[in-house]
Copies of this chain bind each other. A is one copy, B any other.
Amino acid sequence: MADNKALTTRAADFSAWYNELIMKAELADYSPVRGCMVIRPNGYAIWEQMQGALDAMFKETGHQNAYFPLFIPQSFLSKEAEHVEGFAPETAVVTHGGGKELEEPLVVRPTSETIIYAMFSKWIQSWRDLPLLLNQWCNVVRWEMRTRLFLRTTEFLWQEGHTAHATEQEAEEETLRMLGVYRRFMEEWMAMPVVTGRKSESEKFAGALRTYACEAMMQDRKALQAGTSHNLGQNFAKAFDVTFQTADGALDHVWSTSWGVSTRLVGGLIMTHGDDNGLICPPRLAQWQVVIVPIWKSDEERAKVIEAADRIARELRAAGIRVHLDNRDGMKPGAKYYEWEGRGVPLRLELGPRDLANQTVMLARRTGGPKESVPMGGLHERLFGEMDRMQHALFEAAKARREAATLRGPKSKQEFIDFLNGAGGFVYAGWCGDPAVEAEIKEQTKATIRVLPDAEFRSPDAPATCIWTGRPATAEAVWAKAY
């Protein structure tokens, strides 16, 4: 039951457009439970594609999946001082089980460091047990005050990697390796360009030594933190007494990392590529890469056209393309086009009696342009080519949008403020390193430091002074308003 009303345009109200698109494409729905969403099949299928790609990348880099309990004893959370401060205020707490009040309340995991390090302390004895490279796909709960479908929900789905290493250097390498994996996934699969870099102290993960992040720019010029990778140093190892015997017989605490991405990525995909007609899903992550819509008038035509469409669908599937044949009765082709467009299917093939006679199909692209009649022979190769081009074009378009909405090296504090309070976007400027400056900028512009960018994203000439104070800059920073 797709909604047939046109979407509010992005230009008119980006936020309304986003919510309406999700409803129209049936990606998700509000639930009767405060702040919790229902992920509908069309949305969940995108998450499944994301999971498949990421999981393969995690395994290629030596990680194994495991599963740790949903519940965490409240006392565990308190063992790492910064961690409890960061997470305790937003926990859901189980106080009763099996009809009785519990002796110690259980927290529904907001993240699993504490329960995992409790297990690591049992499993890790020697340098031979290291590195220990685990990942878990699961649900987590954070009691958010203001929620938005996919972007910020009380419960969300994610993966959390947790690794333990013998040296500080190995932990730092792992942290950056997984940041790189995330970046590659976001760019190559989601067609979503990101800026990577380190978070400032005020934005880092509660309990981490250093947090790195991938920051993407949405079409409304706001930043989305799309994934984070934390070097936890020995903080959790010390809190949970995770020690190991080194190769030369000494005793040391392990060095650890954690990293995660969530169903928020689905929101990022929508806001990166969607248009006023609905979702545009990059071909590599689309549940259906191609939809075939048969066209007929008489019953005789119907039988012939559906038979041919079915044969084409089977051939394309055999070639490895994800194809859906929409042979619903009682629905006009135009209505089907409209529905699949809203749902973001990259390519549509229309097949009527005339196409059949000519041994051709009509090809329409979700990203626009004229329809094209293409021969049935060699169709799968043609479609693979179309998908590659579309995947690439979506990435390039997103990157061009980001660059057009990026200001590097504003000449003055006023220009900096005007940019952020105006159309907005990413602004690169020098920062003196003072958290008070971050706080002041946030107050005046609602913008925060998204990252201190990695070398490849930095401006050719490092800014000498802080854009806010004029003091010597300790780093270049990227500021933006963010989700």
Contact = CB atoms under 8 A, between A and B. Distances in A.
Interface of A: 1, 29, 31-34, 36-41, 44-45, 47-48, 64-73, 76, 88-99, 105-106, 108, 115, 118-119, 122-123, 125-126, 129, 134, 138-139, 141, 143, 145, 154-155, 157
Contact of A31 (B44, B65, B68): B68
Contacts of A65: 41, 44-45, 48
Contacts of A98: 89-92, 143, 145
A89 B70 CA distance: 20
A41 B134 contact: yes
Nearest to A96: B93
A88 B100 CA distance: 12
A97 B106 contact: no
Contact of A64 (B45, B88, B93): B45
Contacts of A41: 64-66, 134
Given A45-B65, A47-B67, A89-B98, 11 more contacts: A33-B72, A36-B70, A36-B71, A37-B69, A38-B66, A41-B66, A70-B108, A88-B99, A92-B97, A108-B108, A139-B139
Given A41-B134, A65-B45, A66-B39, A94 B108 contact: yes
B115 A31 contact: yes
B64 A33 contact: no
A44 B157 CA distance: 18
B44 A66 contact: yes
B94 A93 contact: yes
B108 A68 contact: no
A92 B92 contact: no
Nearest to A37: B69
Contacts of A70: 36, 108, 139, 141, 155
A95 B94 CA distance: 6
Contacts of A73: 32-33
Contacts of A89: 98-99
Nearest to A104: B34
A129 B1 contact: yes
Contact of A93 (B45, B95, B129): B95
Contacts of A72: 33
Contacts of A40: 66
A67 B44 contact: yes
A1 B45 contact: no
A349 to B, nearest CB: 22
A244 to B, nearest CB: 11
Contacts of A44: 64-67
Nearest to A64: B41
Contacts of A145: 98
A123 B1 contact: yes
B45 A143 contact: no
A114 B279 CA distance: 31
A445 B39 CA distance: 47
A38 B143 contact: no
A155 B71 contact: yes
A125 B94 CA distance: 36
A157 B67 contact: yes
A9 B105 CA distance: 39
Nearest to A93: B96
Most B-side CB within 10 Å, residue of A91, A97, A122: A97
Contacts of A64: 41, 44-45
A68 B153 CA distance: 12
A123 to B, nearest CB: 7
Contacts of A1: 123, 125-126, 129
